[in-house]
Amino acid sequence: MAISGALGCETGVTSCVRIGDYSEYQYAKCVTDTYLKQQSGGKHECISSSHCYYHCMLEKHDDDQGPTVSSDCKCTPGNSASFSGNPGALKCMMSCLMAAVAFLRYYS
């Protein structure tokens, strides 16, 4: 599946976004095309940009259609408390940060 590019997203940063036909907001991390291809085993790629959002429903549940967002992926825009209170989201952010550091070390 090709995922639309995310202009202005910062690699490794997890955001609360509403994507496509999903009915609610969900966590999504800004990743490079290379990272997305590696993590998805080549099933997914960024289009029209070198970066895109790898959203929680796709990453955790292999669901790119919606409209339902599972409870472990839901978030509230602008509410940092919802992020800190969601262990799955924190794990997601930590793995993304670790991947970004590894990526930078490898390509530096």
Per-residue pLDDT reduced to its tens digit, 71-89: 999 999 876 433 434 445 5
Using a pLDDT cut of 90, give the percent of the chain over it.
Answer: 19
Total structural domains in the chain? Answer: 1
pLDDT digits (tens, 9 = 90+) for 17-35: 888 889 999 999 899 889 9
Highest mean pLDDT (candidates 5-14, 43-52, 89-98): 43-52
Tokens of 79: 């509410």
Cα–Cα distance for residue pair 16/28, rounded to 1 Å: 6
56 by Cβ neighbours in 10 Å (0-12 / 13-18 / 19+) ranks as buried
Say how many C-beta atoms besides its own lie within 10 A of residue 8's C-beta. 7
The chain-wide mean pLDDT, for the chain, equals 76
β-strands 26-32, 14-17 pairing: antiparallel
Range of the domain at 92: 2-107
Q: pLDDT tens digits for 91-103?
A: 555 566 666 666 6
